[in-house]
Amino acid sequence: MSKLAIIAADVIEVSPLVRGWKHSQTTAQRHTVEIFEKGNVVVGFAGMGPIAARIAADAVYKHCDGEVAAFFSVGFAGALSLKLRVGDVVEPKKIVCAADDTEIINSTGTGILISAGAVAGVDAKATMAKRFGGDAVDMEAYSVADVARIYGIAFRAVKVISDEFDFPMPPMGRFIDDRGRFRRGSFIIYSAMRPWLWGNVLQLARSSSSAARVLCARLQREITPAGSHERLNQPTEVAR
């Protein structure tokens, strides 16, 4: 049976969905890939960032012995527009790699998602919005789309806004290690010693929890028997 492979960055993005699912681990390129399975759906993640996303997608493909009908890149994204609010779902038509301006185009979806190599704060968001005219920014979708393109498999990105355009993002990037893992304990200690960060950290936690619920409710509808396979498409790459 062909599988639907859902690739996320962190368990917090999909925990409402995978609670109670069969859980296993595999190792690929020094990354631990967490895998959750139920029926014909497999959810995998290996950490934050483009490298971890690529490793997770490839590891899940091999875990399924190549029997993958489609890849979904799912998770949190930052807004590049004042019109987008926490909990809004973005399904882009175009995904742009910020590192080299290459693009992957879907035949469905709307708008532009920028995949960056680091957590984007206010200044970085403003720069990307001006440079690319994008709607939202994440770190993983381009890598997953590229793996799907390589294997000739259908792809969609389903992202939910967890931080708005003008949200002052705490310095989370310094707590992501070289394997894409977020060192929560270190971040909590760092934040606890800086009271001026407490409000933003609390707001981000609340927004992330709300975004995860929205995302997982959307995914639950997608993976029902009458789900969206007919809307899936194979991505194509366009070099600027």
Low pLDDT (below 70) residues in the chain: 225-240
State which residues form the domain around 145: 3-169+204-238
The pLDDT of residue 69 is 94
Could you tell me the CATH number of the domain that includes residue 101? Answer: 3.40.50.1580
Domain count, the chain: 1
Helices 11-18 and 198-222, axial angle in degrees (round to 10): 40
Q: Is residue 143, in this structure, part of any structural domain at all?
A: yes
Q: Where are the alpha helices (DSSP H) in 19-84?
A: 50-63
Rg (Cα) of the chain, in Å, rounded? 17
Question: What residues does 42 pair with on adjacent strands?
Answer: 5, 37
- Taking the alpha carbons at both ends of the chain, their separation in whole angstroms is 38
How many of the other CB atoms lie within 10 Å of CB of 41? 19
Per the confidence metrics, is the pTM higher than 0.85? yes
Whether the CB-CB separation of 213 and 81 falls below 8 Å is answered with no
The pLDDT of residue 230 is 42
CA distance 28 to 32: 7
